[in-house]
Amino acid sequence: MFRILKKTLTTGMLTERFKFPKDAELEQLGIEIKQQIDRRFSGSLAIRQVDAGSCNGCELEIHALNNPYYDIERFGIHFVASPRHADILLVTGPVSRHMQTALLRTYDATPNPKWVIAVGDCAVCGGEFGESYASCGKVANVIPVDVTIPGCPPSPLVLMSGILGLMKG
Amino acid sequence: MSTQHNDWCSEFLTRVIAAGIPVTHIEKSTFDIWQINAYDWQQFAEFAHHEGLRWSAGWAEQRDAQYLVNACFEKQGSYIVLRATLDEAAAELPSQATVYPAANRSERHTHDLFGVKFTDHPDPRRWVRHQAWPEHSYPLRKDFPAAGYPEAVTPPDMNYPFIKADGAGVYEIPVGPVHAGIIEPGHFRFQAVGELILNLEERLGYVHKGIEKIAEGRTPESLARLAGRVSGDTTVGHAWAACQAMEQAAEISIPPRAALLRGILAERERIANHLGDMGAICNDVAFIFAQVHFTRLRELWLRSNAKIFKSRLLMDCIIPGGVSCDILEADCIVVREDIKRLRKELDQLIPALDLNTTLEDRLYTAGFLSEPIAAAFGALGYVGRASGQTFDIRRDAPYSPYDKVAFKVAAENQGDIASRFWVRYKEIIAAMKLLEQFMQQLEPGELTTPWQIPTAGAEGLGIIEGWRGEIISFVRFDSGNTIARFYPRDPSIINWPALEKLVLNNIVPDFPVCNKSLNGSYSGNDL
């Protein structure tokens, strides 16, 4: 226990590092997200992530949003376990045909008002996989998309700006 | 690899022929092909099993009016590709899955995509096919168009015949394909009594994207990009395996500097993934302290990747003939400082975890995979190494740059989640030592070898130790520098069935941590 406390105390608050110039952009962006969300969702935005056929690269970067450097939750943005709790669906991958019905049902299970963000090149335009016997291609081919965040995969910073894009749009 | 072939290989060949199985031995520069008759397919497997060969990969391809069915075996670092040629009209051969459980899903995959029938298969249910194409239609046949004949909405796979369990108090829990966390889709069907798991059945194939089909006709560069997206967390491993296979087919070898850079990329990928996994395993038993610190260390590691290689996950750094990135003198300093910092951090963190009662209580004895079961399935990477299977290509069949470094394989033998956790830690330590050795050996030089167009029909087999374990990548070229066939065998394909075994007699709430300790790739499995 002493070791844990010592490590915790000596590591300190990493999120403060955004005050350094190189990460200033993120801090500004985060605050802006917070203001936008406050206006519409009273400080809380629930995101349900759906992998509809991704290679898992985008998931790794979405995970990073919760690490101590980005800590997206401090801006009132949090990931939830069910589409029924969600305001936003964050969809990755080309939509594989085997996931098409599952994605449609997830979309239907999300209460209104809801938004869909397509994350990563595959979700935005089909990417490396495109359309085939096994793939429906981009997410917009299956459900309506409000915001697209390109990249292969998009970095955590780009993901944050994408969410901001939705709030402005 | 034929130069390293051990004595067992020729002795075994003699014995197989003496037993009345005719074998045509085709020696390639890097691997051997043993051509046998289709009806001897299963009998050969019995011999191979008796000899202690490990079943490693299975795939098929269509050439003109014939199917070539392949199975790859390994023993002591020597690889054999067993091949049978079938006529289109009689596309069947006896299953090897009765001898090698590892062949089970692979043969079902081959059946669903080629229509090659494996007779006497112990489980002939469909596997990768859900409802995106009809039963008697086979997407990897040459007359099947890549676009297929899809319906407007592909229906769900409602009537898959799951194994049933009856009895007082037995109930079923269906989970997925859409899971509660930020993870890939797949379906798990539990039968439980109270909290105890009686049986688990995996149903994968949800992220089948037709990778093998859309690889056909690509250029080498384009195939490398696709291979880098077979499984996003193994972009280096798969791109390297595919490029190694293509380079064999083209009969070129990469410059020493490119090989060292590939080694650096692969070990950096290994460390990043292990850091993420170690945190996630602790997170699944609600020990958030470790999750926070490991995600922090992973983030720092990825930021260095971005700084040096312009990609956090190292996408597209490996290209046919070499690498697309370089490492400058200043970058070497960054890497050395990274290593120094990571060692120091781990020295502080590990004692705090090792002596923690929460982790001890939850990770020790949970998710136990015995040595015999791990051996029977041919478990790979950290899953195998935590259950006494110490095979590591980097040591046992080393390819450049691993042939010129000292390297100790991490191993544990308790077979539980804790073992799989500590193997990852030991692999990080070993990987850091490898990084230091690679950087020491770096000398100025070329980054790519000029590409030579392979002859039509040329084939190659890439064998790389990815962060999850052995990756096998088969490539055959058509004329005009285009790909005729690509099959990547991710280690997950071998390791997934082990999860069905190691969760037995654990409680349902421990499934997430059991699953994370194995961490199979869904995308790499489904293709």
Distances (CA, A) of B262 to A39, B59, B234: 49, 27, 13
Interface contact flag, A106 B296, Cβ < 8 Å: no
For residue A135, what is the domain's CATH number? 3.40.50.12280
Decide if B381 contacts B491 (C-beta within 8 A): yes
Reported in sequence order, the residue ranges of B176-238 that DSSP labels E, i.e. its strands, are 187-193, 196-203
CA distance B281 to B27: 45
The helix, strand and coil proportions of chain A, stated in percent and rounded to the nearest 5, come to 50, 15, 35
CB contact set of A131 (below 8 Å; sequence gap of 6+): A94, A137, A141, B147
Task: Give me the phi and psi of B138, to 5 degrees please.
Answer: -130, 105
End-to-end CA distance of chain A: 48
Phi-psi region of B252 (alpha: psi -120 to 50; beta: other; left: phi over 0): beta
Interface contact flag, A51 B209, Cβ < 8 Å: no
Q: What is the mean pLDDT of residues A82-90?
A: 93
Predicted confidence at residue A19, as pLDDT, reads 34
Predicted confidence at residue A15, as pLDDT, reads 66
CA distance B21 to B230: 37
Candidate from A11, A49, A132 with C-beta closest to B182: A49
Tokens (6 digits) for B320: 């046919």
- ipTM comes to 0.92
**Is pLDDT at A16 greater than 60 in this prediction?**
no
Decide if B501 contacts B518 (C-beta within 8 A): no
Contacts of A22 in chain B (CB under 8 A): none
Domain that holds residue A53: 2-168
CB contact set of B211 (below 8 Å; sequence gap of 6+): A129, B226, B230, B486, B488, B527
Q: Tell me, what DSSP letter sits at residue B88?
A: G
Reported in sequence order, the residue ranges of chain A that DSSP labels E, i.e. its strands, are 45-51, 77-79, 88-92, 115-119, 147-149
CA B371 to chain A, closest CA, distance in angstroms equals 30
Contacts of A94 in chain B (CB under 8 A): 209
Q: Which helix (H) or strand (E) holds B262?
A: helix B256-283
- H-type helices in B65-180, by residue range? 103-114
CA distance B58 to B69: 8
**Is pLDDT at A18 greater than 50 in this prediction?**
no
Contacts of B355 in chain A (CB under 8 A): 3
Three-class SS state of A16:
helix
Interface contact flag, B296 A49, Cβ < 8 Å: no
CA distance B483 to B475: 7
What is the sign of the dihedral through the CA atoms of B122, B70, B486 and B56?
positive
Distances (CA, A) of B251 to A125, B28, B256, B454: 36, 11, 16, 8
**Is pLDDT at A24 greater than 60 in this prediction?**
no
Predicted confidence at residue B176, as pLDDT, reads 84
CA distance A60 to B458: 36
Please give the interface size between A and B, counted as residue pairs whose CB atoms are below 8 Å apart.
173
Question: A50, A73, A89, A96: which to substitute to probe chain B, counting the most B Cβ within 10 Å?
Answer: A96
The helix, strand and coil proportions of chain B, stated in percent and rounded to the nearest 5, come to 45, 20, 40
End-to-end CA distance of chain B: 28
Question: A51, A82, A88, A143: which to substitute to probe chain B, counting the most B Cβ within 10 Å?
Answer: A51
pLDDT digits (tens, 9 = 90+) for B248-257: 999 999 999 9
Reported in sequence order, the residue ranges of B442-523 that DSSP labels E, i.e. its strands, are 459-466, 469-477, 483-489
Predicted confidence at residue A20, as pLDDT, reads 30
The residue with greater pLDDT, B311 or A3, is B311
Tokens (6 digits) for B390: 């110490």
For B137, the closest chain A residue by CA position comes to A133
Question: What is the count of structural domains for chain A?
Answer: 1
Question: A56, A61, A74: which to substitute to probe chain B, counting the most B Cβ within 10 Å?
Answer: A56
**Is pLDDT at A22 greater than 80 in this prediction?**
no
Predicted confidence at residue B2, as pLDDT, reads 42
Predicted confidence at residue B323, as pLDDT, reads 96
Domains parsed from chain B with CATH numbers: 2-119 (3.30.460.80), 211-318+327-526 (1.10.645.10)
Q: What is the mean pLDDT of residues A90-100?
A: 96
Interface contact flag, A51 B148, Cβ < 8 Å: no
Predicted confidence at residue B324, as pLDDT, reads 96
Decide if A121 contacts A127 (C-beta within 8 A): yes
Task: Give me the phi and psi of A58, to 5 degrees please.
Answer: -65, -40
CA distance B433 to A70: 30
Q: What is the mean pLDDT of residues A161-166?
A: 70
pLDDT digits (tens, 9 = 90+) for A131-140: 999 999 999 9
Decide if B394 contacts B481 (C-beta within 8 A): no
The DSSP annotation for B349-414 comes to: HHHHHHT-HHHHHHHSSTT---HHHHHHHT--HHHHHTTT----HHHHS--TTGGGS--------S
Predicted confidence at residue B40, as pLDDT, reads 93
Interface contact flag, B185 A51, Cβ < 8 Å: yes
Candidate from A7, A8, A134 with C-beta closest to B132: A134
Find how far residue B200's CA is from the centre of its chain: 22
For B344, the closest chain A residue by CA position comes to A7
**Short-list B309, B223, B321, B323, CA closest to B272:** B309
Instruction: Tell me which residues of chain B have a pLDDT lower than 70.
Output: 1-6, 29
Give me the residue label for tokens 């790389």. B464
**Is pLDDT at A165 greater than 70 in this prediction?**
no
Predicted confidence at residue A39, as pLDDT, reads 67
HSE at residue B134, side-chain half, CA atoms within 13 A, is 5
pLDDT band at A11 (very low <50, low <70, confident <90, very high): confident
